[in-house]
Each structure stands twice: as C-alpha cells, then as structure tokens.
C-alpha cells in the first residue's frame, strides 16, 4: 500500500541526503545524527510511511 506522493518523496530524499551529509560536516558524536538520514530515504524508496 502506497501512502507517499511524488512531492513528499522528493522532499524525503532531499532531507535524507542533507542529514547524511552531517556525517562529514560535524565532529565528535554528533556526526552520528546523520545516520537518521537513512529513515526518510528508505520510506521514500518503499513509498510507505508507517507514521501516516
């Protein structure tokens, strides 16, 4: 079942890439917050968000 539209998918991928870039921009333990970028990318690729 799909519950993510085209615009939502584009926004999720862009947000995921921005979050993943934090791995290279931040130092220390804060850089691991960038790993949260995988969540919006995965939900965009499978076209399903369990929070919706």
At 1-52, the pLDDT tens digits run 899 999 999 999 999 999 999 999 999 999 999 999 999 999 999 999 998 8
- Tell me, what's the pLDDT at 38? 97
Q: Write the CB contacts of 26 (distance below 8 Å, at least 6 apart in sequence).
A: 33, 34
Residue 25 lies in a domain: yes
Q: What was the pLDDT predicted at 3?
A: 93
Q: Is residue 30 part of a domain?
A: yes
* Cβ 47 vs Cβ 22: under 8 Å: no
51 in any annotated domain: no
Domain that holds residue 36: 6-46
Which tens digits make up the pLDDT trace of 29-41?
Answer: 999 999 999 999 9
Considering its fold, how many domains does the chain have in total?
1
Residue 14: predicted pLDDT: 98
Please check whether residue 15 lies inside any domain of the structure.
Answer: yes
């Amino acid at each position: 079942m799909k519950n993510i539209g085209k615009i939502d998918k584009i926004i999720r991928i862009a947000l995921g890439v921005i979050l993943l870039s934090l791995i290279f921009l931040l130092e220390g333990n804060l850089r691991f917050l960038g790993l949260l970028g995988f969540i919006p990318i995965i939900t965009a690729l499978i076209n399903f968000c369990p929070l919706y």
